[in-house]
Amino acid sequence: MLPRGRPRALGAAALLLLLAVGFFLFGGDLEYGRLRGAASLDGELTRDHNRSACLPLRSLLPKCELLHVAIVCAGYNSSRDVVTLVKSMLFYRKNPLHLHLVTDEVARNILETLFHTWMVPAVRVSFYNTSKFQAGAVSWIPNTHYSGLYELLKLVLPDALPPDLARVIVLDTDVTFASDIAELWAFFAHFSDKQMIGLVENQSNWYLGNLWKNHRPWPALGRGFNTGVILLWLDRLRQAGWEQMWKVTARRLLLTLSSTSLADQDIFNAVIKEHPGLVLLLPCLWNVQLSDHHTLAERCYSEASDLKVIHWNSPKKLRVKNKDVEFFRNLHLTFLEYDGNLLRRELFGCPSQPPPQAEQRQRALAHLDEEDACFEFQQQRLTVHRVHLTFLPLDLLPSRHDVTLVAQLSVDRLQMLEALCSHWPGPMSLALYLTDAEAQQFLRFVEASKVLSARSNVAYHVVYREGPLYPVNHLRNVALAQARTSHVFLSDIDFLPAYSLYNYLRASIEQLDLSSQRKTALVVPAFESLHYRLSFPTSKAELLALLDAGSLHTFRYDVWPQGHTPTDYARWREAQAPYQVQWAADYEPYVVVPRECPRYDSRFVGFGWNKVAHIVELDAQEYEFLVLPEAFTIHMPHAPSLDISRFRSSPAYRDCLHALKDEFHQDLSRHYGAAALKYLTALQRSRSST
């Protein structure tokens, strides 16, 4: 055995001291001067970068320092990318963060709701509207880059961000973290007093200008820099007159170059070529660029044992045959599919002020009794679900006299979507209750479906799963709130409407002159098929024939007749014109109402009474119920959901539902006074009869 212990430890200590001293001398030298003639220095640079990556940068950081991150984001797809980026960042971070999001209207609507419902402790989010700067500030710059004008906004950040914000890390939406962002922030400590921009070398030969004959890129130092990850020392830039600086350079170059090819990156590089002293070169691992020819990136990471930030700056077709790409893909998938709810964790040792709604919720949760048989119900009601609105692109103009189909589903009902699309050509607003991984499955499902990918008027809103009970009414409310038409058809995912229903409803709304002020609920009679290979009726006559033949039934005629009896199917059979019907206990028709109708009562979770309560609310607010003579919708058979199975098998579940109903009626009485008496009477009558 070799003698080990102290002598060995001291030897190691000496080695570390050497390394540490080496780094700081070297770190001080890491300014642009060394990059001159970059092409020939490659090898040396790579080695240096790796060495620096091993160093304990965190120890330079005051614990709990607030780190600032700016991201420019526009549109539906980039908003999804930002979520993955933010997840990776949050997974490794140990500091409070302030995100500065420069967004268009679409991204703002998505991300504001997302962060509001995500409630991550020690994360602040500020929004800045792109349109404010875009018009004057950068739209004059001709540009051919795929990410359009938005990337150019990175140039105006020193002016766009608050004047008291001194330093910020700027990220492209297509980067993924594999390390703690505080290590990146720590490089600000290595800026000389002249330096204001931290960048990684560009890992392609683009700026060398020899890719093809007459290839004329914008000027850059050597390979230039990549602007997917930038450290910006904002107040120095402001003081140095950055705005003037880049505009002068850009204007002059645009006299001879027709447009920027790589947006802001071209201009950053051109300015740096003229003022190399501005830049601190960052180690390549902080922006590993997976563009099409990534041999240069490979040179960067091949000697490293870990990566810091990956930049997907290429069309994302990842060929499965490359072992390295598989590694990167796995890292990306890790965060795509990572349960974002798990990131709602406190930072140890950095006390933060929770958002007011979180605190309130925490207090309410603390008051719950875990031994209560209905604990799960109460807990579920207090759950704030993360919501990602319009998960997929949407192209929809608000319109009058139009109807949006509103429904909700979980992943086991995805198969219904294609059929539903073939039955309903109009706009839809659907809430999907999914895990993060299922959301990706959903994405692939839509991409693989010709029917679904051809539609641009279907809005999909992802509500992330949390807790044991299906929050059916909350889902309905999310979908309802996003409808953009005057009216909504409140449906369920396992119903297929008559092929003609969409046009018929639009015509009816117009003919009946239903403004969005008029309190009318158009009833669409509901039927059911017990046969899963139904030849769907194309007219009322065909439907009646199937009904007479016993192939169709009125909905739940055998197990829950009171749900639809008031629709009066006998009268409907003969009806030529809309007719009014009266509310009765447990009535739960499928209705078309103005978008401003009352919301669903979200305390009803799981199975049971969730629609009934909504119809009571409509009646209490004096909506009239008008049955449409040519309208119908048919329930398709499916295996019972887990919630229904649970309801059927558990008396405790039914008791909790009872308690919810009682609460609901108390609230009704408080709200509507004597007018609500009839609902209570009906409830009591139904209980004494069972």
Count Cβ atoms below 10 Å from residue 506 Cβ, excluding itself: 19
Which residues ranging from 627 to 646 are in contact with its own copies (CB under 8 A)? 636-642, 645
> CB of 405 within 8 A of CB of 424?
yes
Binding residue for its own copies (CB under 8 A) from 292, 370, 371, 513?
Answer: 370
x-or-dash pattern for its own copies, window 269-308, by CB under 8 A? --------------------------------xxxxxxx-
Stretch that binds its own copies, among 124-132, 154-162, 337-345, 501-509 (CB under 8 A): 337-345
In 218-282, which residue ranges form alpha helices assigned H by DSSP? 234-239, 242-254, 264-274
Is residue 346 near its own copies by the rule CB under 8 A? yes
What minimum distance in Å lies between the beta carbon of 464 and its own copies? 12
Does residue 532 belong to the site contacting its own copies (CB under 8 A)?
Answer: yes
667 lies in the binding site for its own copies (CB under 8 A): no
The smaller minimum CB distance to its own copies, of residues 58 and 145, is found at: 58
Of residues 447-486, which lie at the interface with its own copies (CB under 8 A)?
Answer: 468
DSSP-assigned letters across all residues of 399-447: EEEEEEEEEEEEGGGTTHHHHHHHH--S-EEEEEEE-HHHHHHHHHHHH
Q: How far apart are CA 6 and CA 212, in angstroms?
A: 61
How far apart are CB 313 and its own copies at their closest, in Å? Answer: 20
The first and second tokens of residue 174, run together, are 């297509």
The answer to whether residue 361 forms part of the interface with its own copies (CB under 8 A) is: no
Q: How far is the CB of 327 from its own copies (least distance, A)?
A: 4
- Residue closer to its own copies, measured from CB, 24 or 140: 24
Closest CB 372 distance from its own copies, rounded Å: 14
Strand-pair category, 309-311 with 399-410: unpaired
Binding range to its own copies, per CB under 8 A, among 24-32, 482-490, 608-616, 655-663: 24-32
What is the chain's Cα-based Rg?
A: 31
Task: Give me 321's structure tokens.
Answer: 């045959």
Q: What minimum distance in Å lies between the beta carbon of 240 and its own copies?
A: 11
Judged by CB under 8 A, the residue of 135, 211, 507, 530 near its own copies is 530
Angle at 71 between CA 68 and CA 73, to 5 degrees: 155
Q: Is 10 in the site for its own copies (CB under 8 A)?
A: yes
Residues 393-432 that bind its own copies (CB under 8 A): 411-416, 418
Those residues whose C-beta lies under 8 Å from the C-beta of residue 683, and which sit 6 or more positions away, are 585, 661, 665
112 sits near its own copies (criterion: CB under 8 A):
no
Tell which one of 37, 255, 256, 321 touches its own copies (CB under 8 A): 321
| Burial of 549 (C-beta count, 10 Å sphere; 0-12/13-18/19+) | exposed
Q: In this structure, are residues 311 and 174 in contact, taking their beta carbons and an 8 Å threshold?
A: yes
The answer to the question of residue 163 lying near its own copies (CB under 8 A) is no
Considering only residues 187 to 206 of the shown chain, the ones binding its own copies according to CB under 8 A are 189-195
345 binds its own copies (CB under 8 A): yes
Total binding residues for its own copies by CB under 8 A? 100
Other Cβ atoms closer than 10 A to 66: 14
Distances in Å between the Cα of 34 and the Cα atoms of 201, 203, 207, 281, 638 are 12, 17, 18, 9, 68
CA-to-CA separations, 554 to 134, 407, 637, 652, 682, in angstroms, rounded: 57, 21, 13, 30, 23
Binders of its own copies among 542-601, rule CB under 8 A? 558
